[in-house]
């Protein structure tokens, strides 16, 4: 089993503050180190693995109540570790070499320890694992040795009756006679000269040594009540998980009703139909060429990995699916696809100008229709506005882009804007799922993604704020910093120094950089403020420099 699968399950348990974790049949031969950080765990299932010993760090799971280690290769009893788990009330060790000397009844007692006065279940379990500790665990229920019936002196005497009160202290002749009668009567009942057995010396010691039927019944009732409580607790957990699943499925249905399902609507093409030209862009998994498809200039995105894995194919299908759901003038339009491994290709409409990143940082690589472009505040606002419009539309349709950056904002030679690269996009209900759930570009990544914490589509708002800073400062965000350094700064809120731009723009960027995603502005609000600044910058000034109010 892939260790990443185990790590993913542990991270998910930590993120959801889960009380139970199932790592059974995962092929584990060593204990995952990150497991011991789950201090809230109450139930842990590690059955069916290849563990040969119990890691001492298990003692850090102080809340652990149920531990299943059955079907492993444990060579010694974990007595020392178990002795420190004060909350433990169930330990399953069946199928391990170390328990070959234990009887089935003892194994059942480890999994479901009986009640012993003055001892916790953990102490009872530790006593079975290490009898030398001096603890005397209660025998299993099916092996309780009951005393033989005792015939009392009075026919109407009740075994369940409490012991008689001690005789009064007055030394009267009546009480002396009574005490003599109580002492002497057994010799006449049992025969002349017979001595009274020590276990019948007085009724008080008899009641103290023989377990009454009432006491056993109370213990059984308490055990049953505890079992019922545990069953109820597990049912409540299962019910909560089912409610969450139903909620997610309901969200998926709402998203599908909103976006429609047009999967498979793109026409297929054969590679011989396309003539590939120069390379426009190259990423980690794909390369984009200029091309010609039946006389039409197009962009051809080709996955160049010769070994098309299931994961890579899923990412390709995800991008195609999201593009099929979207039709917007500021979103790059797909035209056709080729889905025959090892060649996975997507034909897109062509933006011959280049990317916003090229226009900002390498303008000599940008193909402008009018020659060199001078980017002022108003020119940048004319690009940011449609980019924000496309992102607002995306969120309204229930999709998060998750890789907003200047590289993915394409421009025509006349500076028409197209948002592209939907390889990491997800429906809102699909966030926090899959192997690429915390992927992205570090320079634009939100703090909650760096922390592997819960996030929403507001990660796009954070990234858009970083792109606005990049545009206004005309600089690459966090240039020359390693991802680890960027993570440290972003998580701590030590963002980039604000450039000399209007105060309204500075406030908007800082708003997008809000650390708490729950209070971060919506993309629709960001678009509204951008348009307000854009319109304000267009108004003519008076001789004193004040803006003239516009009359609509």
Q: At what angle do helices 458-473 and 523-538 cross, to 10 degrees?
A: 30
Biggest alpha carbon–alpha carbon distance for the chain: 135
E strand or H helix that includes residue 269: none
pLDDT of residue 439: 83
What is the pLDDT at residue 64? 93
The three-class DSSP label of residue 485 is helix
CA-derived radius of gyration, the chain: 38
pLDDT tens for the 552 residues of the chain, in order: 556 778 888 988 888 888 899 998 888 999 998 899 898 999 999 999 999 999 989 989 989 999 999 999 998 888 888 888 988 999 999 899 988 888 888 888 888 888 888 788 888 888 888 764 444 444 444 444 444 444 343 444 444 445 555 554 544 444 444 343 344 444 444 444 445 555 455 444 444 444 544 555 566 677 778 888 888 888 888 888 888 778 777 766 665 555 444 445 788 899 899 999 998 887 666 789 999 999 999 999 887 666 667 777 777 787 788 888 888 999 999 999 988 877 788 999 999 899 999 999 999 989 888 888 888 999 999 999 999 999 999 999 889 999 999 999 999 999 999 999 887 888 887 787 766 678 889 999 999 999 988 899 999 999 999 999 999 999 999 998 999 999 999 999 999 999 999 999 999 999 999 999 999 999 999 999 999 998 876 655 544 444 434 433
Alpha helices in 286-336 (DSSP H): 310-325
CATH of domain 3-137: 3.80.10
Q: Any idea which residues carry the catalytic annotation?
A: 403
Nearest one of 292, 298, 293, 306 to 343, comparing CA atoms: 306
| Count, residues in the chain | 552
What's the CATH number for 263-350?
3.30.200.20
Q: DSSP readout, 214-227? A: HHHHHHHHHHHHHH
Measuring CA to CA, which residue among 356, 388, 394, 408 is closest to residue 532?
388
Q: What architecture does CATH give domain 351-552?
A: Orthogonal Bundle (1.10)
Q: How many other CB atoms are there within 10 angstroms of residue 448's CB atom?
A: 22
CA nearest neighbour of 462 among 482, 441, 480, 479? 441
pLDDT at 133: 45
Contact 400, 459 (CB under 8 A): yes
What does the domain layout of the chain look like in residue ranges?
3-137, 263-350, 351-552
Q: What distance in Å separates the CA atoms of residue 173 and residue 30, rounded to the nearest whole number? A: 79
């Amino acid at each position: 089993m892939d260790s990443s699968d185990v790590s993913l399950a542990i991270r998910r348990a930590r993120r959801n503050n889960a009380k139970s974790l199932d790592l059974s049949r995962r092929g584990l031969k060593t204990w995952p180190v990150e497991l011991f950080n789950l201090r809230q765990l109450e139930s842990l299932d590690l059955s069916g693995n290849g563990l040969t010993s119990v890691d001492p760090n298990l003692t850090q799971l102080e809340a652990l109540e149920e531990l299943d280690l059955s079907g492993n290769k444990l060579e010694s009893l974990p007595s020392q570790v178990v002795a420190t788990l004060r909350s433990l009330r169930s330990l399953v060790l069946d199928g391990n070499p170390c328990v070959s000397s234990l009887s089935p009844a003892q194994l059942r007692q480890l999994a479901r320890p009986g009640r012993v006065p003055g001892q916790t279940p953990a102490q009872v379990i530790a006593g079975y694992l290490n009898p030398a500790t001096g603890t005397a665990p209660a025998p299993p229920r099916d092996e309780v040795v009951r005393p033989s019936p005792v015939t009392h002196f009075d026919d109407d005497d009740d075994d369940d009756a409490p012991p008689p009160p001690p005789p009064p202290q007055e030394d009267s002749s009546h009480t002396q006679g009574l005490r003599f009668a109580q002492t002497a009567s057994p010799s006449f009942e049992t025969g002349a000269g017979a001595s009274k057995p020590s276990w019948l010396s007085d009724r008080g010691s008899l009641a103290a040594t023989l377990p009454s039927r009432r006491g056993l019944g109370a213990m059984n009732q308490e055990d049953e009540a505890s079992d019922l409580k545990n069953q109820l607790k597990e049912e409540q957990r299962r019910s909560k998980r089912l409610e969450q699943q139903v909620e997610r499925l309901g969200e998926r249905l709402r998203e599908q009703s909103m976006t429609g399902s047009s999967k498979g609507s793109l026409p297929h093409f054969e590679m011989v139909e396309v003539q590939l030209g120069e390379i426009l862009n190259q990423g980690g998994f794909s390369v984009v060429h200029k091309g010609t498809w039946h006389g039409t200039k197009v962009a051809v995105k080709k996955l160049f990995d010769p070994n098309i894995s299931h994961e890579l194919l899923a990412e390709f299908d995800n991008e195609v699916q999201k593009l099929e759901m979207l039709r917007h003038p500021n979103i790059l339009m797909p035209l056709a696809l080729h889905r025959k491994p090892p060649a996975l290709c997507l034909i897109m409409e062509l933006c011959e100008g280049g990317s916003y990143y090229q226009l900002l940082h390498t303008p000599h690589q940008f193909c402008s229709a009018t020659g060199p472009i001078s980017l002022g505040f108003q020119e940048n606002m004319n690009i940011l506005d449609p980019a924000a419009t496309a992102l607002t539309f995306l969120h309204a349709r229930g999709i998060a882009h998750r890789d907003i950056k200047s590289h993915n904002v394409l421009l025509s030679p006349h500076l028409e804007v197209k948002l592209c690269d939907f390889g990491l996009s997800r429906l809102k209900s699909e966030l926090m799922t899959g192997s690429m759930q915390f992927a992205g570009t570090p320079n634009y990544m939100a703090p909650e993604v760096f922390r592997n914490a819960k996030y929403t589509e507001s990660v796009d708002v954070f990234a858009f704020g970083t792109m606005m800073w990049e545009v206004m400062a005309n600089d690459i965000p966090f240039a020359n910093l390693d991802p680890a350094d960027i993570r440290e700064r972003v998580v701590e809120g030590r963002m980039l120094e604000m450039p000399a731009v209007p105060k309204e723009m500075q406030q908007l960027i800082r708003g997008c950089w809000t650390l708490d995603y729950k209070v971060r502005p919506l993309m629709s609000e960001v678009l509204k403020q951008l348009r307000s600044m854009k319109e304000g910058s267009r108004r003519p000034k008076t001789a004193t420099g004040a803006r003239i109010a516009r009359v609509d």
